[in-house]
Amino acid sequence: MAVLLKAQDLTTNFYTYEGAVKALDKFSLSIDHGCTFGLVGESGCGKSVTVRSMLRVIQSPGVIEGGKVLFSEKADAEPVDLLALTEEEMESVRGDSISMIFQEPNAALNPVITIGDQVAESFLFHRVAEMSQKICDAIDSGESYGLLTPYYRAMLGVAAKNPKAPLLKFCSQVPFLKWWDKPVKKEALQRAIKIIGKLGIANPEEIVTRYPHNLSGGMKQRIVIAIALACHPTLLIADEATSNLDVTVQAQILQLLNDLKKESISSILLITHDLGVVAETCEKVGVMYAGTLCETGDVKDVFSTPLHPYTQALLTSVPKFNQEGELQSIEGSVPNLVNPPSGCRFHPRCPKAMDKCSTDKPELKELIPGHLVACHHADRVIGGLS
């Protein structure tokens, strides 16, 4: 399977008054084309910092100190390092190739703009180049835009080549082209209605005329997904996007994401603290602890044969249907990342810790084909077995 996104030794610190918070410590992760990948870990372990670092939208006082984020949009293309792109190039990756949805839909929606205009705007923003190209093609083929003079055709050609050109603004400043923005806006609204309908919302024609406060939490989150999907991303990142919703709505949205993946998106990175969600929706999983990746592989392998003591502990702390006796919790607490434990960050809480664990950071190794673990103990056990 071809790799879509690969983080290598990603390191991010936050420089606070208490000292440098070492939020990501040589974090590595690999997501394949066509895969639904679940990133799990306790609250505060660095899931959001990971995706924000990969997309270079880390908030101050955060600094990406090192590493690579290799992205191959096409399965057979050479990967590009997102950390080496200019901010302008990165903006077009964020707009066209990778979309992100967050936990709080209210933060992503503008309260004073109708739902229809917000989804349509996403189409307009991301597809300006595509639309202007369409118009240029229409001009060339002598369709209805044939009245345009060669001068305007040339201008449109320039705009078509520059996806970041605010084409609509440009057109509205040229009196002769003002009439043009109406059909384009109408087309974007039609696309918005179509995508909202696809997301299982009844009566999309009416919904587009409403404002965010008229909709329920589940509906708003679907609208946010519609906005994210408007640019046909290769990768959709959902950071706890369903955590605030009630269980049935959450299940519907997860189902929806999976259906959409089949038809329009290549891969999904689902970030959650809920192991049940991962078990039900993902093919691959990565387990994070205190800014490092402990274990990764196929969901069925990792959940049935967890090799890292942290994954083992995490799985025994999940209530089961036929649970007998008390639920196990993980002893100790999440470490302070200003002074993280040396060696393996989990060693102070680990029942299997050896001397080496407090001094040497374990590397992520493929101990079983397709199943990678960063643990000296697992290394020894599996190494001894094979």
Ligand X SMILES: Nc1ncnc2c1ncn2[C@@H]1O[C@H](COP(=O)(O)OP(=O)(O)O)[C@@H](O)[C@H]1O
Report the interface residues with ligand X, using CB under 6 A: 14, 16, 21, 23, 41, 43-49, 59, 337
Q: How far is the CB of 290 from ligand X (least distance, A)?
A: 8
Q: How far is the CB of 63 from Mg ion (least distance, A)?
A: 19
Q: What residues have CB less than 8 Å from 81, skipping those under 6 apart?
A: 68, 69, 70, 71
Please say which residue, 48 or 122, places its beta carbon nearer to ligand X.
48
Terminal-to-terminal C-alpha distance of the chain: 26
Binding track, positions 43-82, relative to Mg ion; x by CB under 5 A: ----xx----------------------------------
Distance of alpha carbon 288 from alpha carbon 286, whole angstroms: 6
Nearer to ligand X, 116 or 286 (CB): 286
Listed ranges 39-47, 168-176, 319-327, 340-348: which one lies at the site for Mg ion (CB under 5 A):
39-47
Nearer to ligand X among residue 250 and residue 292 (C-beta): 292
How many other CB atoms sit within 10 Å of the CB of residue 271? 26
Residue 247 beta carbon to Mg ion: minimum distance, rounded to whole angstroms: 20
Cis peptide bond prior to 61, omega within 30° of 0: yes
Instruction: Give Cα separations from 149 to 154, 157, 167, 208 (angstroms).
Output: 9, 12, 17, 36
* Contact indicator for 294, 365 with CB cutoff of 8 Å: no
In the complex with ligand X, the residue whose CB is nearer, 48 or 250, is 48
Q: How many residues bind Mg ion (CB under 5 A)?
A: 2
What CA–CA distance (Å, rounded) separates 386 from 373?
Answer: 15
**Which of Mg ion, ligand X, none does residue 34 bind to, with CB < 5 to 8 Å depending on kind?**
none
H/E stretch holding 249 reads helix 247-263
CB 12, min distance to ligand X, A: 8
Query: Does 99 contact Mg ion by CB under 5 A?
Result: no
From the list Mg ion, ligand X, none, partner contacted by residue 44 (C-beta under 5 to 8 A by kind): ligand X
For Mg ion, the binding residues (CB under 5 A) are 47-48
